[in-house]
Homo-oligomer: A and B are copies of this chain.
């Protein structure tokens, strides 16, 4: 019998013994019928109490990986693992295939991988997150009484909104002048689920959905999975071009505060025009305000949601940028004619979000930690953004190659390539090879003629990395010959 158990540190010793014995069984080092050491002997050899070992054996007995034979000792159960161990276990692949909609799955764009300098878009700096405070609030929520209250609480039944939904209404009202009470808020697993629920309750197969072009491709892709006809509408310096909206559009998806990816803020005139268009065409506007809590200019323009007099706007927000993406909390704020269906769509598909995270976030908002965190983080991002803009703009910097698109908020800045013959994908690839991750603009287009540029996120790069990264990028741009790879 090949069994080697070793204990490290003074952590949970029972857990260590359990894990090592289980691994020995599962990878075939211990076979069915093998006798395991008497708990007293193993305890002696490991210098732990016998109870520590029997507790581990009990867990393995509960899983029927071990079995006791009266008077003979403890053995590895027969037939609990296939011959050869678990390594070769794979679910059978079969003749069953997804519907045509899923037949082609886009390859994910290359990520920052091992890049030295990371200008990823849409990623906050998780080192800024107030982990100690969050841990305290999570522990508080995990106190028995408070968690029980959230157990299988039917989100559809609670039409007045949960405690978190009330806090979000207050937060969105104060910070973004969104007009809402808790009853108007539907919490979701990030902004993405908010868009999914909206599509579920509003889009019939074949309906036209208009999106910004260039735009947030994940949203366009999502609408397509709901069998919508997705149309890309051009974006200029004032935001989406309302005159170019297709008459058939039932739903218009926009990012007015900080257009994704160009960074443009939709002008007030354009906001009014878009609302009027929606009234004339009986369409719904989805306003995705994904990262405007980080703002670097004066108080921003009012969101479409608060300019709306007709109940046509669904406002979507997220805590993925101001907290952490991994916590998956977002929300939709919708007209009362839609919230029951949105709650029902959430109920049938995922029931609700994580009760612990929701409880902790409600406290985080109500105790002012969120406000304090956004203030601190904005300061850090502002410094990075200023350094980035200065380096991009200056003639010693990259101003010769790049023209920055003005923006007033958010975690990234976009710049257009001045030379119309330069290919942004090729440049991004060369930059990545040289250790700098930037995102090309052209891949964010749907049907409009692609503009070429680069987007620079400031969440993943420290202040001190910006200068060196742009020096590398400058080298890449200097050496890149004009002309697309396909010969020009």
- Which residues of A are in contact with B by a Cβ distance under 8 Å? 12, 14-15, 18-19, 22, 26, 55-56, 58-60, 62-65, 80-82, 86, 89-99, 101-102, 105, 108, 111, 122-123, 126-127, 131, 134-135, 138-139, 142-144, 147-148, 150-154, 156-157, 169-170, 173-175, 178-181, 183-184, 188-190, 192-193, 196, 200-205, 218, 221-222, 225, 227, 282, 284, 299, 305, 308-312, 320, 324-328, 333-338, 340-341, 344-345, 348-357, 366-369, 371-372, 374-375
Residue of B nearest to A364 (CB): B15
Residue of B nearest to A105 (CB): B344
Besides A102-B345, A222-B348, A328-B352, 17 new A-B residue pairs in contact (Cβ under 8 A), listed by A number: A19-B367, A62-B371, A62-B372, A89-B173, A89-B181, A91-B336, A92-B309, A93-B335, A94-B337, A95-B337, A98-B338, A105-B156, A126-B148, A151-B326, A192-B350, A327-B354, A354-B357
Residue in A62, A188, A348 with the greatest tally of chain B CB atoms within 10 Å: A348
How many copies of this chain?
2
Which residues from chain B contact A91 at a C-beta distance below 8 Å?
178-181, 184, 305, 311, 333-336
Q: Which of B12, B19, B222, B337 contacts A349 (CB 8 A)?
A: B222
* Interface CB pairs A-B, < 8 A, 9: A63-B371, A64-B175, A91-B180, A91-B336, A92-B310, A92-B311, A95-B310, A326-B356, A328-B350
Which residues from chain B contact A59 at a C-beta distance below 8 Å?
368-369, 371-372, 375
Which residues from chain B contact A131 at a C-beta distance below 8 Å?
142-144, 147
Residue of B nearest to A282 (CB): B95
Which residues from chain B contact A184 at a C-beta distance below 8 Å?
90-91
Q: In the complex, A192 Cα to B156 Cα: how many Å?
A: 15
Q: In the complex, A189 Cα to B346 Cα: how many Å?
A: 11
Please determine whether B371 and A201 come into contact, CB atoms closer than 8 angstroms: no
Please determine whether A344 and B201 come into contact, CB atoms closer than 8 angstroms: no
Q: In the complex, A335 Cα to B92 Cα: how many Å?
A: 5
A183 to chain B, nearest CB (A): 7
Which residues from chain B contact A101 at a C-beta distance below 8 Å?
201
Q: In the complex, A225 Cα to B349 Cα: how many Å?
A: 9
Please determine whether B356 and A157 come into contact, CB atoms closer than 8 angstroms: no
A449 to chain B, nearest CB (A): 26
Please determine whether B368 and A156 come into contact, CB atoms closer than 8 angstroms: no
Residue in A86, A94, A126, A221 with the greatest tally of chain B CB atoms within 10 Å: A94
Q: Which of B89, B190, B344 contacts A351 (CB 8 A)?
A: B190
